[in-house]
Structure 1
Amino acid sequence: MERYPGDDSPLVRPYLLTGGRSRPARTDLELITLVVAVSEEIREAVGPEQAEIVRLCQEPCSVAEVSALLNLPLMVVKVLLSDLIDRGHLIHRPPPPTTAVPSRQLLQAVLDGIRRL
């Protein structure tokens, strides 16, 4: 496997993990969509990344969290999650549609938090 100079982690091309796909089959996977595993283990042959996703999702986890915990690009994770949902290994709950405008107090708290970074 290829490696970056000074990097101990292997370089795995995203198209290898997704079977060449760059978009998930599902269009309802947003950053804050929660996914949870249906069972503790998968009884069919899957890649190590998909097995790790099922392990991580024993408790509800957002799409963004899965991406961060696996250190994989968001689109790659969406493709893998989409496959696992379609195979019945995961279930998901898209966030409810929001039409309300956030309060000024909430926006100020977010801005204050960003400034502290």
Structure 2
Amino acid sequence: MKKILMKVINKEISLFELLISYLIFFITKKKIIIGSKTKIVNKKNIILNKGSILKVGTGDFGITTKDELTLININKNGKFIINGNVGIGRGTRIIVGENAILTIGNNTSITGLSKIICYKKNNYR
């Protein structure tokens, strides 16, 4: 908690962004924490298995700024499955194609400015 408050104090994330993330968590009961500018297309196609947490844009990465947009685009009938604790850095682009399945496993960290494009079935553990 202290680490998150320091991010607000240092203006790495706004208090508004933090409050919205936690509000979404309590309303949806999904554990998706968003720490910087993020656009998620078809959020309903993100599957968080029991005990899973998805953190998007919450960590520092030397060459990114809090203004970097992170994009997660899940096309029609695509699935983005989270199995455990997963972090996605600022400025990352993830595209899941039609009928594709992207599975990411426990303790996976995707650094900022990464690109993942999935058109069939990919597993990262």
TM-score if structure 2 supplies the norm length? 0.22
Higher helix share: 1
Tell me which structure has the larger Cα radius of gyration. 1
Higher strand share: 2
TM-score if structure 1 supplies the norm length? 0.23
